[in-house]
Amino acid sequence: MVETSIVTTKGQLVIPARIRRRLGIKRGTRVCLIEEGEKIVLRPLTPDYFRKAAGMLGTGGKVLKAFLEDKKREREL
C-alpha cells in the first residue's frame, strides 16, 4: 500500500484516514519516529503496542500500566 501526504511549513504531516483507522491512531495518540538509514518509521504508541512490548521486555505489564496512567493524566489536563 502506498499513500502520499505533504509536509506543511510547520513540519506537520497528515496521516491518511485509512491508515489511522487500521492502526488505531486517534486524536492525541503519541507516535515515535525511528530513523532507519534513509527511511523514517512512524510507530503509534497505543495500548496495544505496549501490551505486545510488555511481553518482550518481561516487565509483567508495568510499562502498560505506566502508559495508561500517563494517558489518564493527559485527559485530565
Which tens digit of pLDDT belongs to each residue from 21-61?
998 898 888 898 989 999 999 988 887 777 666 665 566 66
Dist CA 50 CA 64 (whole Å): 5
Dist CA 47 CA 18 (whole Å): 20
Residue 68 has pLDDT above 60, yes or no: yes
Which of these ranges, 4-8, 32-36, 70-74, has the smallest mean pLDDT? 70-74
Using pLDDT thresholds of 50, 70 and 90, give the confidence band for residue 66. confident
pTM across the whole model: 0.58
Largest CA distance in the chain: 43
- What pLDDT does 13 receive? 92
46 contacts 53 by C-beta, under 8 angstroms: no
Task: Choose among 65, 33, 35: nearest CA to 47.
Answer: 65
